[in-house]
Structure 1
Amino acid sequence: MTISFKDVRAAADRIAGHTRPLAVAPLGDGASDGAFGDAFGGAEGWLALEFMQHTGSFKARGAFNFVSSHVEAGLMPDAGVVIASGGNAGLACAWAAARHGVAATVFVPETAPAVKVDKLRQLGATVRQVGTEYAQALAASQEFAAGSGALQSHAYDHPLVAAGAGTVMEELIEAQPGIDTVLVSVGGGGLFTGIAVSALEHGVRVVTVEPERCCALYSALDAGAVVDVPVDSVAADALGARRVSETALEWGGKEHVRSVLVTDEAIVSARRALWDDRRLVVEHAAATALAAVTSGVYVPSPGERVAVILCGANTDPSDLTQHTGDRNQGEAR
C-alpha cells in the first residue's frame, strides 16, 4: 500500500460536504484548567473532537472515500461491500454504503460491544459475528468475499481508507495553523498513516500512542518488521489489530514520528477525566492518545502547541456515570 499527500488531498475533495467538519476545543491552559492544567504545564493543548463525526468515529472519512471512489469508477459489484471490523470501521462502511445505495456485510468479533452491533443493524448492514478477535473476523470476511463476489474493504490497510483518515489532519491544520505536535491512538495504523503523510507536509510532529498490551506499531518498529502481537487491553475493541500495515511501519520510522506506550490504568483515568472535567464521553481508544500526556509518558515543552485526536465515542457511558468524580476508579472488563 502506498499513499502520498496528493492522495490525502484527493480524499479531502471527495468527502467534502459528506462528512462533518472537525471541531477543535482548547485544553490545558495552565494550572486553573482542572485535571489537565498540570499535565500540559506551559504548553497549549487542543482536543480534536473527531468522535463527533458520522457513526461516531474518524472511520467515516476513509469509508466514504473508499466506497465513493469505487462507485465513481464503476467497480462496485452487485454483492456490495464486505468488511471486518472491531466495530467502528464496520459502522463507517455501513454508513458510506447506505449513502450510495450499496449493500454492506460486516464481520465483527463476538466480543464487539453491543452498542456497535446494534448501530450496524440500524444502518442496514448484515452483521456476522465470528471469533473473539479482529483477525478471526477478517479471515471470515475474506472467505465471504471470495464466495460472494463482494468488494473487500479493510479497516485500515488500504490507501483510500488511510488517505481518507488523513483528512482529519488537513482540517486540524486549517483550524489551528500553528500546531506543533499531534497525538494519535494507533491500532492497525490507518489513521496514523494518513495523519503522518499530512503532518510531514505541514511540518508537524506526530506522537503515536498505544496500550502496553496492544501495541502492533511499537512492536513492529522494535522488530524492524511487521509482527503479530498479543491483544489484551481495555481499548482492544478498537485498537486490537494483531499487526499494523507495512505502510504504517514505514511511516512510523520517519523522523517526525515518535512512538510511546501507556498503561490500561492511564487510559481509564484519561477517559474518566474527560467525562468528569468536560462531560465528554469517548471510547478507551480515543482516551489512549490523551493518556500519553495525562500519565506523563509524553511531556510537552513550554509553549508547545499540542493537539490530541479524540477518534471515537462508540461506547457504553454507564461506567462513567456510575462513578462520577472518581477518575481513578478502575473498570471491570
Structure 2
Amino acid sequence: MSSIVVTAAGHSRSRTGIAGGVTRLPSMTGQGSVSMSHRPLVGALWREHSAEYIERVSDVTCVEVMFEDLADLNQLPHSLKRLKARGVEILVHGATLSLGSAERPDPRRLARMARVADLVDAPLVSEHVAFVRASEVDSWHVLPLHRTRDTLEVFLENLAEAKELIGRPFAVENVAHLFDWSDHEMDQGTFLREVLVQGDVQLLLDVENLRIDEVNLGMDATHVIDAIPLERLAYVHMAGGAEKDGVAFDTHSAPISRETYHLLESLAERVDVPRVTIERDVQLTSAEELRTELNGINEALARGTARRLERAPG
C-alpha cells in the first residue's frame, strides 16, 4: 500500500509499506546493547576554541567531534592527534544529515561523515531524530518530527541508507522541542523506541533536551526514559541552556543545571551509563570549569549507580 509523507515545506515523497501499523524489522549484528565493565568514559564536545582546555583536563577519556567541522581537512588537528595518542576515544556526531526529511539523504554528506569517522577511527557515529531541510530550504536547526507511522517509515529508510554507507555502529539522539506538531500517533518515548528497535541502532540520550521538553511541553522526562530500551544506550549528552519568558532553549552556552544532573542521576539508577559528553559550544572559559562539570557528572552517576546496586537482589 502506498503512503505519502509531506514535509513542513509541502514536499511529498512516495513510500511503499503498510499504513496501518508498525512493521518489525530483523535485528542486525553489532547494534545492540553496550556492555559496562569499566568506569564510564567522560568528556566534552571538541571545538577548536575549547581544545586547549579539554587537553589540560586529564579526566577527559572521550571527546565528540562534529563531522561538519572536520569534513574538509586532510588530517586531524594536532589537538585531536594528541588526545588520540593518550587513548582518548573520539566519537563523531552530525547535525545536518536531516534523516527525517522526505528526500533521501544527501550521499555527499554521508560520504563526508564516513570520511571523518575513518579519520578518527570512531567506534560510533550519531545523528538526530529530526529534520533540518525540505528540498533546498534549510532551517539551520534540528527540528522535531511529526510522530506518525508514515514519518517513522521515512526515517527508518533514510537511517538504513546512512548506516549502510557509513558502515559503523550508529546512534540516534532525541531533540529539544521549541514547538510540537499536533495529532501525533505516538508519544515521544514510543517513537524513540520504534526508531531504536526497528532501525537497530544505539541511543544517544540528550538529558538536557529531556529537561527542556519538561519545561516547554509539560512532559515527564522519566516517562520517556522508562519507555525506551536502555540496553541500547551508547552515551549521554549533558549541556546547559537558557530560559526566556517561560521557554527553555538548548543553547550549549551555560553550566549544567541542577535539574539536568538529577535526570542523569535518575538514568544511572536504571542502567549503566557507558559514556557522557558535555556540549559546550560557547563560553567555556577555563579547564577548571570543565573539570568542575565532569566532577558533577561523575558524582551524579555514582549516586544513581549506588541506589541501583542497593536495590539489586542478593
Asked if TM exceeds 0.5, the reply is no
Instruction: Compute the TM-score of the two structures, normalised by the length of structure 2.
Output: 0.32
Instruction: Compute the TM-score of the two structures, normalised by the length of structure 1.
Output: 0.31
Structure with a larger share of its residues in strand: 2
